[in-house]
Amino acid sequence: MTPAMFALLLALTRGEQHGYGLMAAVEQLTAGRVRLGAGTLYRTLQRLRVDGFIEETDSDEEAVRADRRAERRRSYRITAAGRAAVTDEVVHLAALLAGDTAQDLLQERKTNR
């Protein structure tokens, strides 16, 4: 799983969002360390959709009546398969971070500050 895929799935665990909302959510989740450009965002969303990890949702009719631009906005939500995939990745990363090597690196960083 690429960092962009992981970050987008993680952001979608918080609920349904549209593309540019996801860009902001990823930036916030990663404290600005990951910034997705539009090309990367939409290519990754397409890949996640094809893989069955997310699905596109219907436009909110009330929002479309209030703002015609909402008609073009695509929103996405995580599927059960997507939630399982991101959970597996979190478990994998947590195990790596709990290991001695990662802990040594964290300690080394604290010492060097």
CA atoms lying within 13 Å on the CB side of residue 113: 6
The percentage of the chain sitting over the pLDDT mark of 90, rounded to a whole number, equals 78
Query: pLDDT-based confidence at 73, cuts 50/70/90?
Result: confident
pTM score of the predicted model:
0.81
Residue 100 has pLDDT above 90, yes or no: yes
Across 22-33, average pLDDT: 94
Across 7-13, average pLDDT: 97
Q: How far is CA 65 from CA 18, 41, 60, 61, in A?
A: 17, 27, 9, 6
Residue 11 has pLDDT above 80, yes or no: yes
Distance CA 37, CA 113 (A): 32
68 compared with 56, residue with greater pLDDT: 56
